[in-house]
């Protein structure tokens, strides 16, 4: 696991950090060729979200999100975007390439691992597919299983560090 990925994991919600480390470890072990997983985005501030939402609406460019500030699971540290790093230097978002020649696209090997851990994949969305995106919607806490959505999360109290209290 590379330094950038570890730094981004440490900013995620404390309840998912260890799980994400395990997922990335499993992905990297499954990918026996030159591809390894890098988290390109984890926790995103409301301000960053507003800037992304403005792209294609207020500023030039193609729309990159339909989520306003507070409407993205990234805003709560419960989502990650990934890419594959090839030979420790080149980023790839190619979902079809089989870098390790095991007859399964490396991207889909990772999709399966995230799914095993209960993470939803943006590639399964019916509209506005988001191939690099994974989010944790069901979180097991001492209070039981919490089904999270931005509508629920935005109303929740936060701790001293700014994370929602689950």
The per-residue pLDDT for 145 is: 83
149 found inside a domain = no
159 found inside a domain = no
pLDDT per residue over 51-101, tens digit each?
Answer: 999 999 999 999 989 999 999 999 999 999 999 999 999 999 999 999 999
16 found inside a domain = yes
The answer, yes or no, to whether residue 140 has pLDDT greater than 90, is: no
In the chain, pLDDT over 90 holds for what percent of residues? 87
Backbone angles phi, psi at 22, to 5 degrees: -65, -40
154 found inside a domain = no
122 found inside a domain = yes
Q: What's the CA gap between 161 and 13, in Å, rounded?
A: 10
Question: What CATH number does residue 90 fall under?
Answer: 3.30.1380.10
17 found inside a domain = yes
Overall number of domains in the chain: 1
The per-residue pLDDT for 141 is: 79
Residue 149 and residue 137 in contact, taking contact as beta carbons nearer than 8 Å: yes
Give the range of the structural domain holding residue 81, as residue numbers without chain letter. 3-138
pLDDT per residue over 98-119, tens digit each?
Answer: 999 999 999 999 999 999 999 9
Q: With bands split at pLDDT 50, 70 and 90, how would you rate the model's confidence at 143?
A: confident
9 found inside a domain = yes
90 found inside a domain = yes
Residue 86: name the closest of 163, 155, 26, 2 by CA: 2
Average pLDDT, the chain: 95
């Amino acid at each position: 696991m590379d330094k950038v990925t570890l730094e981004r994991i440490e900013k995620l919600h404390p309840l998912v950090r260890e799980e994400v480390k395990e997922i990335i470890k499993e992905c990297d072990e499954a990918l026996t060729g030159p591809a390894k997983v890098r988290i390109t985005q984890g926790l995103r501030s409301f301000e960053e979200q507003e800037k992304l939402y403005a792209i294609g609406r207020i500023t030039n460019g193609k729309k990159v999100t339909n989520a306003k500030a507070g409407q993205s699971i990234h805003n709560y540290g419960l989502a990650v975007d990934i890419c594959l790093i090839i030979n420790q230097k080149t980023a790839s978002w190619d979902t079809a390439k089989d870098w390790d020649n095991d007859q399964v696209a490396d991207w889909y090997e990772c999709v399966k691992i995230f799914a095993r851990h209960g993470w939803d994949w943006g590639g399964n969305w019916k509209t506005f597919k988001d191939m690099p995106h994974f989010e944790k919607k069901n979180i097991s806490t001492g209070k039981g299983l919490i089904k999270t959505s931005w509508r629920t999360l935005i109303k929740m109290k936060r701790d001293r560090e700014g994370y929602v209290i689950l």
